Amino acid sequence: MFIQKVKGNVKKGCDVEIGAKTLIVGPNGSGKSTIVNTVELALTGRVGDVAGRIDIAREADVMGLATNGAPALSASVEFDDGAIAGYHTEGSTAKAKKAVAQRPPATTHDEVLPIRTLREAVLGSPQTARKYLMGKVSTATKADVEALIPAALSNRFVECFPANVPVADALVASVEFAAKRQRECTSEAKTAREAGKLVSGGRGAPPNEADVRAAAQALKDARAALQAAEAADRLTEELEASEAEYQKAENAANEVAIKLTNARTALNAAKKPKTLNPLFSHVCLVMDESVLAGECLACGGKAPTKAMADEVSAAIADTVAANKAYDKLVVAVTAYEAEAKATLEILDRAEKALDALKKKVGVSTDIDLANAELAVNAAEKALLDVKAARDAWASVQKAESTALDADRQAVEWKALKEALEAAMAATIEQSLAAFVSSVQSHLPKTDTFGMKLRDGDREVVAFGLVRDGHLHTALSGAEWARVMAAMSAACVPAGKFACVIPEERAFDPSTLKDVMAALTDCPHQVILTSPVKPKSVPKGWTVVERGE
């Protein structure tokens, strides 16, 4: 399976046919990278060697590659079996639609452009390279890995080692997980200690339960004193009210006494009335009738005069009126005497109540309500402070316990990470010979591939060609191209399509011919770019020329 047609409007745009082994020839700016970028975009949705030799994948960034600022960007490749891989997006460098991608199953893996991923891995840190190679060369089983882990860390190992994934991937994931947990536990310990410092606030020794009980008793005593002060204050109020009642009763008694005295004086000054015969009223009636009749109706004699009758009636009326006035004075005196007695009883009761309150108040007059309230507030604050200090120290101790536990876990995770890294190194070492042999199978017989992962006690990732029994890592351009292509071939999963695109080098025609010959047997599609033509074209190669 190989790409035979490349079409798109990336950069200058292209619509070309290529072969399983293709050389694209042309001067700088002729459009060689146009074809390469179109293939990259169609296969991965990413483009390399753009804007400072970094990969770009964001649609708005990719839109910057559209020919003459076109509003749409497309890239597609057609395989020899008719399958299509493609990429399409629309918009501008400010905003673009989500890309639509199409990829045959054989191309949906990370090594579809193996040199790119291999270069990113082996040119990074030794740790990055080891993780990458672990997935390519290791044949270890979970039991092999577990046998290299200290028994004390077995529980942690079970916790972090994922199931149902290839052992090589699980080992890499475990190293990352252990490193992450180490960082998290270290951060947790730091956070707990910082929180403890904030809570403790520079306090001295933590208060004990005796301090808390003493503060609680002080508050109890202060509240008792406040209750006594409140009671004394209420007695004072009651005393004032009692004094007012006494004064009211005394005033009422005085008023009644004055009224009684006046009534008695008036009674003594009044003359005691004469006693009237009940028949006087009949005599007056007879005299009045006799005057009208002209004769005395009592004796038949001469009739009394009207003046006589009026005089008798007036005298009788005066006597009656005097009697009534006298009787009224007597009633008033009697009423005032009763009222005076009642007011004196009220006054006596008020005086007794007042005397009793005066005795009570006299005992409590030394209690100050305002000071008692201040004392209670101070005692409440003191109790709250001592409890807060006790609780704060409890929080500090809890935080320190959390920090110590996190420290312990961080140590365990660090130890597990180091054990896993050692296991990774050991399993890679065990499988290294198979990987070297696989790479060697993709190189010409004149090349001897070598690789080492340790230099004394130091972990390294060094590879190159062996000459005179020594590993040479400083390779020429042609050697680098051959080695990278061979390593890429060894890293691609079996049965998967891959397109090997070495970096462009300024080879002379003769060296270019040798490089092409060395890459002829590569099991994957190869696209090579060069500003010059080869001295001759090896069999099986397609040459695509790009003009100015």
**Domain for residue 529, yes or no?**
yes
Give the β-pairing of 21-25 and 525-530. Answer: parallel
pTM greater than 0.85: no
Reported confidence tier of residue 73, pLDDT bands at 50, 70, 90: very high
Reported confidence tier of residue 527, pLDDT bands at 50, 70, 90: very high
- At which of 374, 394, 422 does a domain end? 374
**Domain for residue 414, yes or no?**
no
Q: Is the dihedral of CA 445, 447, 451, 455 positive or negative?
A: positive
Mean pLDDT of the 91-95 span: 86
**Is 130 found in the same domain as 241?**
no
pLDDT value for 382: 84
Which of 333-337, 409-413, 532-536 is predicted least confidently? 333-337
Average pLDDT in the chain? 82
Which of 94-108, 288-302, 309-323, 415-429 is predicted least confidently? 288-302
Q: Cα separations (Å) of 349 from 40, 254, 356? A: 115, 16, 11
**Is 490 found in the same domain as 357?**
no
Mean pLDDT of the 174-179 span: 88
Mean pLDDT of the 52-61 span: 72
- At which of 318, 345, 374 does a domain end? 374
Query: How many residues does this entry show for the chain?
Result: 548
Reported confidence tier of residue 541, pLDDT bands at 50, 70, 90: very high
- Could you give the percent of the chain with pLDDT greater than 90? 14
Question: Has residue 142 got a pLDDT over 60?
Answer: yes
Mean pLDDT of the 201-216 span: 74
Mean pLDDT of the 457-465 span: 81
**Is 472 found in the same domain as 355?**
no
Q: How many helices (H) and strands (E) does the chain have?
A: 13, 14
**Domain for residue 84, yes or no?**
yes
Question: Has residue 365 got a pLDDT over 50?
Answer: no
Q: Take residue 334 and report the two structure tokens written for it.
A: 């009697």
What is the three-state SS of 443-477?
A: CCCCCCEEEEEEECCEEEEEEEEEECCEEECCCCH
Reported confidence tier of residue 275, pLDDT bands at 50, 70, 90: low
pLDDT value for 301: 67
pLDDT value for 87: 94
Q: Take residue 401 and report the two structure tokens written for it.
A: 């316990």
Residue with the bigger pLDDT between 167 and 126: it is: 167
For residue 8, which of 114, 116, 85, 83 has the smallest C-alpha distance? Answer: 85
**Is 218 found in the same domain as 123?**
no
**Is 345 found in the same domain as 258?**
yes
524 in Cβ contact with 498 (< 8 Å): yes
Q: Take residue 304 and report the two structure tokens written for it.
A: 């009394």
Question: Has residue 279 got a pLDDT over 80?
Answer: no
For residue 529, which of 11, 26, 17, 16 has the smallest C-alpha distance? Answer: 26
Mean pLDDT of the 379-396 span: 76
Cα dihedral value 5, 37, 516, 115, nearest 10: -120
Mean pLDDT of the 216-232 span: 82
**Is 106 found in the same domain as 251?**
no
Which of 17-26, 86-95, 124-133 is predicted least confidently? 124-133
Question: Has residue 188 got a pLDDT over 50?
Answer: yes
**Is 250 found in the same domain as 334?**
yes
Give the end-to-end CA distance of the chain in Å, rounded to a whole number. 32
Question: Has residue 239 got a pLDDT over 80?
Answer: no
Reported confidence tier of residue 8, pLDDT bands at 50, 70, 90: very high
Reported confidence tier of residue 147, pLDDT bands at 50, 70, 90: confident
Which of 94-98, 324-328, 394-398 is predicted least confidently? 394-398
Query: Got the DSSP string for 4-66?
Result: EEEEE-BTT-EEEE--SEEEEE--TTSSHHHHHHHHHHHHHS-EEEETTTEEE--HHHHGGGB
**Domain for residue 395, yes or no?**
no
42/54 Cα distance (integer angstroms) = 17
Question: Has residue 43 got a pLDDT over 70?
Answer: yes
Reported confidence tier of residue 424, pLDDT bands at 50, 70, 90: confident
Tell me, what CATH number does 521's domain have?
Answer: 3.40.50.300
**Is 487 found in the same domain as 369?**
no
Name residues whose C-beta falls within 8 Å of residue 450's C-beta, 6 or more positions apart in sequence: 436, 463, 464, 465, 466, 471
**Is 230 found in the same domain as 342?**
yes
**Burial of 65 (C-beta count, 10 Å sphere; 0-12/13-18/19+):** buried
323 in Cβ contact with 276 (< 8 Å): yes
- At which of 374, 398, 429 does a domain end? 374
Mean pLDDT of the 33-52 span: 82
pLDDT value for 303: 65
Reported confidence tier of residue 488, pLDDT bands at 50, 70, 90: confident
Give the β-pairing of 21-25 and 541-545. Answer: parallel
Residue with the bigger pLDDT between 325 and 187: it is: 187
Question: Has residue 6 got a pLDDT over 80?
Answer: yes
Q: Cα separations (Å) of 273 from 218, 227, 267, 311, 505? A: 83, 69, 12, 19, 160
H or E element: which one contains 488?
A: helix 477-491
Residue with the bigger pLDDT between 494 and 80: it is: 80
pLDDT value for 186: 92
388/390 Cα distance (integer angstroms) = 5
487/273 Cα distance (integer angstroms) = 156
What is the three-state SS of 79-105?
A: ECCCCEEEEEEEECCCCECCCEEECCH
How many domains, in total, are found in the chain?
2
pLDDT value for 85: 93
Q: Cα separations (Å) of 479 from 5, 396, 502, 505? A: 29, 64, 11, 11
Reported confidence tier of residue 548, pLDDT bands at 50, 70, 90: low
Query: Got the DSSP string for 92-146?
Result: -SS-BPPPEEE--GGG-STTSSHHHHHHHHHTS-HHHHHHHHHHHH----HHHHH
pLDDT value for 205: 63
Mean pLDDT of the 17-22 span: 92
Question: Has residue 491 got a pLDDT over 60?
Answer: yes
Residue 222's domain spans which residues?
A: 209-374
**Domain for residue 457, yes or no?**
yes
For residue 133, which of 145, 142, 120, 143 has the smallest C-alpha distance? Answer: 120
Give the β-pairing of 72-79 and 84-90. Answer: antiparallel
**Domain for residue 483, yes or no?**
yes
Which of 63-72, 139-148, 281-290 is predicted least confidently? 281-290
Mean pLDDT of the 74-81 span: 93
**Domain for residue 66, yes or no?**
yes
**Is 348 found in the same domain as 242?**
yes
**Is 39 found in the same domain as 129?**
yes
Reported confidence tier of residue 434, pLDDT bands at 50, 70, 90: confident
**Domain for residue 494, yes or no?**
yes
Cα dihedral value 97, 102, 107, 111, nearest 10: 0
**Is 222 found in the same domain as 340?**
yes
